[in-house]
């Protein structure tokens, strides 16, 4: 009887650990995305602060699987700024600084454990 009780205890303990790990993993994925979004907003704010002619109207993102695309709506003297390599670089640099400072600044996207981050201009 003691052997059966020990096996049942191990089974219940294993199930509890599996549930805890699954919940913590999902929380980590959400935290990573939240930190990246906050970093992207700071990158846009830095770009706007460096050029007084720029105006940030909105900062959105889309997620599809591993790919997360940030969509800053930036205006230059009241007209859409369009594609801006400088702003893209500043956003990706801020994301890079949050996850792996000292790594080279990415040109088009930055990859982490769970997501690949891109910047597109609507």
Domain residue spans of the chain: 2-119
The structure's pTM equals 0.75
User: H-type helices in the chain, by residue range?
Assistant: 2-50, 85-99
Q: For residue 74, what pLDDT is reported?
A: 84
Half-sphere exposure in the Cβ direction for 74 (13 Å, CA) = 28
The whole-number mean pLDDT for each consecutive block of 10 residues of the chain, a chain of 122 residues, reads 77 88 85 88 83 80 91 81 80 87 82 89 81
Nearest-10 crossing angle of helices 2-50, 85-99: 150
- What the block records as the tokens of 57 is 């109207």
Beta bridge mates, 64: 67
Q: For residue 1, what pLDDT is reported?
A: 59
Segment (H or E) for 73: strand 67-76
Q: For residue 26, what pLDDT is reported?
A: 83
Say if residues 94 and 39 touch (Cβ distance below 8 Å): yes
């Amino acid at each position: 009887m003691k052997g059966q009780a020990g096996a049942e205890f191990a089974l219940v303990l294993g199930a509890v650990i599996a549930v805890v790990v699954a919940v913590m993993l999902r929380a980590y994925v959400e935290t990573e995305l939240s930190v990246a979004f906050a970093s992207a907003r700071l990158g846009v704010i830095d770009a706007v602060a460096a050029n007084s002619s720029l105006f940030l109207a909105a900062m959105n993102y889309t997620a599809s699987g591993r790919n997360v695309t940030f969509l800053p709506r930036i205006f230059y003297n009241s007209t859409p700024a369009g594609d801006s390599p400088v702003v893209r670089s500043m956003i990706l640099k801020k994301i890079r600084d949050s996850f792996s400072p000292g790594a080279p600044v990415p040109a088009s996207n930055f990859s982490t454990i769970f997501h690949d981050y891109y910047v597109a201009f609507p």
